[in-house]
Amino acid sequence: MDQRFIINGGRRLKGEVHISGAKNAVLKLMAAALLLDDACEIHNVPELADVYIMVEVLKSLGAKVDYDTKEKKIRIDASELTSHEACYELVSKMRASFTVLGALLGRCKEAKVALPGGCSIGERRIDFHIKGLEALGAQVKIEGGYVIAKAKKLVGTTVYLDRPSVGATENVMIAAVLAEGSTIISNAAQEPEIADLANFLNAIGADVNGAGTSEIVINGVKQKDLHPTAYTTIPDRIEAGTYIAAVIATKGKAVIRNIFPSHLSAVTSKLSDMGAHITILDPFSIEVSCGKSLNAVNIVTQPHPGFPTDLQSPFMSVLAVAEGLSVITESIYENRFRQIGELTRMGANVQQEASRAIVKGVKSLTGAQVRASDLRAGASLLVAALIAQGTTEITGLYHIDRGYEKVVEKLSGLGADIQRLNIPESDINAKINVDEIYLT
């Protein structure tokens, strides 16, 4: 069966939406749980394809995992690991699973982890990961598509990252928890998910300071110092930003609940420039709305606290119907404009010039058949479909399901006309054959 979204656009979104736990935080907490020679619980876990993949990764290493989707919690017991090898079949599906490298090296002093996969949005090198782990005393080599790391012991040191890589910061931070002495990560990534990981590590007995700044200090502890915990992860700022984009684009009004407004400061600043209205209702809720028109703005993606690269795609859809000319500069990933071709099919006026996208606002978009090429491009198409006049059919839902929990239910709750359809394989083949006849 092939699945697709059918969206009848042009409706103003209104009401309220509850944001799920942060995918990019939860996955790293799950990997870090491998450090613990005991069990722990993680709460506010979203039901996503990526979480299921990470569950299988941990199980393949010998951890016992109980994932309660109803209660949004997961219990991980890594007391009896049976393997230090994370296989290609699982790691190749999701880049975040590569974080088990630091956890296995810290816990077992050896690890064999397949080179990572995930969305093809550009170069995401692992040399920063390797450089950091080697600085801690590991011998690391790449062989047969695997990263193989071994160390008699890990010793704290200063690790300077040439750029603030989120993944490298996480891998080094996790590995350094059980290293001897102190480790300093300089030019560290400052994303909220980094701080959440540090808070989780401290909750199980680690000594991590400075997370959320450019310098993180990890004072090594002993295995016996680590202990069980129950930890609640942060809300997903990217999911929140996507729903905000959808509400604003449709000239709607909605309350966004279960968020940390400070995590979205760069986004809300741009929204104000565009003419949207943002009101903080309480420490975990905001109200967003939009009048009759949106202004064009320029966006440059940057590491946190700058504008998130993960929200560049959905905001391109918003700017596609803003008044004037917008320029989006993608400074993080060189291949993250894959939504442009599909947006153009819907009537958007977007031209790519190397790392810049020139967006000239149009009066409206038109529904079309489009396909999600990656997670955030899929979010862009969702927003565009909600704006568009007529019906949009989106395929490639696997990508969207990796990062957005219960998206049909949440958008329907805001008044969107959206449904998920299962299309039998025979119907798909029949359509392909008809298309081939017309092409010839």
Active site residues: 119
Report residue 146 CA to chain centroid gap. Answer: 24
- Residues 6 or more apart whose CB falls under 8 angstroms from that of 219 comprise 156, 181, 182, 207, 208, 209
| CB-based contact 247:288 (threshold 8 Å) | yes
Helix (H, G, I), strand (E, B) or coil at 71: coil
d(CA 18, CA 255): 9
Closest among 80, 72, 116 to 98, alpha carbons compared: 116
Residue 101 φ then ψ, to 5°? -60, -50
| CB-based contact 87:60 (threshold 8 Å) | yes
d(CA 144, CA 78): 27
Exposure of 215 by Cβ count < 10 A (0-12 exposed, 13-18 middle, 19+ buried)?
middle
d(CA 280, CA 272): 13
